[in-house]
Chain A
Amino acid sequence: MPRSSASSKSRASARSTLAAQADRHALYERAVQDPEGDVKFFVRTYRKIRGHDPVSMREDFCGTAALCEAWARSSPERTAMGVDLSQDTMNWGLEHHIVPAGREIASRVTLVCEDVREVKRPKVDLTCALNFSYNCFKTRAELLSYFTAVHAGLNRDGVFLLDMLGGTESILEGTTDNDHGDFIYRWEQAKFDAFSHDFQCYIHFLFPDGSKIYRAFSYDWRLWMAPELRDILLEAGFSNVHFYWEKTDAKGEGTGVFYEPDYVENQEIWWTYIAAER
């Protein structure tokens, strides 16, 4: 899940606890991100739609810019621009990703502290908005203005890639734990309002010594539904919207391979990619 605003008032009391020693950005990256997987999917999808490879990529709501780094690292001609409102989070990314990646890769990554609706240049082949961060736009007018800005910032054969969260359990309150061994990632859906689709969520990190980083990240979202996203993307000027779905194996586990279905039955919880052609 996205990073945006964090409330870190909940630092564990004693300095020595695992929570006190932990870095929430590092935990976040381990728990929810897979930048190499994203890059692979982006390139494959872009190639399928456009018949050639994308070079420039813009990562909106980039946070620590892990994806920018993976993009620039994946091929020597590729450039990445990360956009986020939090300079602190981007600084963390500079220190942990971009600088350690070496001068050559770093020279192909630019980080911009700006509202994603304001950035229209330089134009790029591919813009992505992952970890559902666009859900911070709670009115149709705001989301439309964001999608319109993305459209304006794409090259003529550009593609916009988003992920989305859905399923019958995505519209309920509840908590999911993922055990990563040295910590537990807890995703909490604290509130879903059927009236407005306002969606209040938190990420907590729990440690084996009983300490925790409570509300390491907080999200005040509207959970946009698939047809709403399609309607607004088309209204923003995109010519075609593709919904992908992950293939599952015999056990129902995700395989990392995505296809484009016409009909998908709902599931309890799912996330997927959407591609919008300029």
Chain B
Amino acid sequence: MPKKTAKKPAITAKTVAKPPAGKKAAAKKAAAKKPPVAKKAARPTLAQRADKHTLYQTSVQSPAVDIEFFEGEFAKMRGRKPLRMREDFCGTALLSTVWCQSDPKRTALGVDLDAATLAWGRAHNLERAGTDVARRVKLAQADVRETRFAKVDLTLAMNFSYCVFHTRDALASYFNAAYQGLVRDGVFVLEVYGGTESMSVMTEERPVRGNVTYIWEQEKFNTIDHHTLCHISWRFKDDSVLERAFTYDWRLWTLPELRELLLAAGFRDVKFYFERVDGDEGDEFLTGTGEFIARTEIDNQEAWLAYVVALK
């Protein structure tokens, strides 16, 4: 995903098409896979030893920050603390785990289609969190459009995963299910990215913890239908690359489209929160502050990150 900071202009505004590290790294990786017989077995590269789920969690997720924001806004709007949370497209269920760690009365339901990723989350996030937390997190290998789950206060769809729905009908049926899955004063939050760069072919790199470079690649953006093909790769200090560890075949939905579909699904009100950025006029980069502010209009920029908050 694009990083959780807005910037202007972006580092790679002029970088084109192919990931710079791509070919070289692929060649190296191939070489490493098939070491010449005569040589001693090559030491595995850092990329080969890396765990993509761990990297993902440290590179693009910040569950504690998210939770602080959600509970603050929920309290302002609803006058109470949200306790039951559903994490759609939960993947490794890190957010669900941290949610339950944040308050002993909290419960979470993580929903995802991918059994292997859920299993990874059970082993790495839930088990490590201890039995008290683990028993309050339920994981369901299911389509997020299913409506059989217990109602919750708050449903979260982070990391733009709802973009897997390419048609209005499919997205509408997901929003309908999200609406039905909420209690009477429930709140549904989606994470959205946009800006001029989101509609371009581009690659963006940034350093993340542990001397690793996170690479977000928008390989394709089809102007005609807004389908976008994106990948996440990581490069390590030995120059090895974990190439396209995650691939996303999305339709990039725009804010007015989301608003229209949410209202059609029955939500009473839709709010947009944009990340506040820091920096002086003329600065090359504006830095994301992690602080999100409700806005009713916003000038477009190269890249932005927002939460769409829909109130039942």
Residues in A lying within 8 Å of B, measured CB to CB: 140, 166, 168-169, 171-173, 191-198, 222, 225-228, 230-231, 243, 261-267, 270
Contacts and interface: CB of A to CB of B under 8 A. Distances in A.
Nearest to A264: B223
B199 A140 contact: no
B200 A168 contact: yes
Contacts of B199: 168, 171, 266
B206 interface: no
Contacts of B304: 194
Contacts of A172: 196, 300
Given A192-B300, A264-B223, A197 B200 contact: no
B33 interface: no
B297 A266 contact: no
Contacts of A263: 220, 222, 224
B223 to A, nearest CB: 5
Contacts of B296: 195
B220 A173 contact: no
Given A192-B299, A193-B299, A263-B224, 16 more contacts: A171-B196, A172-B300, A192-B300, A193-B298, A194-B255, A194-B298, A194-B299, A194-B304, A195-B255, A195-B256, A195-B297, A226-B225, A226-B226, A227-B226, A228-B257, A266-B223
9 contacts: A171-B196, A192-B299, A195-B297, A197-B255, A225-B254, A263-B220, A263-B222, A266-B201, A270-B223
Interface in B64-120: none
A226 B299 contact: no
Interface residues of B, number: 29
A140 B257 CA distance: 9
Contacts of B168: 231
Contacts of A193: 297-300
B196 A226 contact: no
A230 B225 contact: yes
B290 interface: no
Q: By DSSP majority rule, is chain A's interface helix, strand, loop, or mixed?
A: mixed
Nearest to A268: B196
A226 B223 CA distance: 7
Contacts of B197: 168
B249 to A, nearest CB: 13
A226 B199 CA distance: 12
B220 to A, nearest CB: 7
A176 to B, nearest CB: 16
Interface string B199-238: 1110000000000000000001111111000000000000
A166 B222 CA distance: 12
A264 B255 contact: no
B75 to A, nearest CB: 24
Given A194-B299, A195-B296, A168 B226 contact: no
A149 B257 CA distance: 22
B306 to A, nearest CB: 8
Interface string B172-209: 00000000000000000000001111011100000000
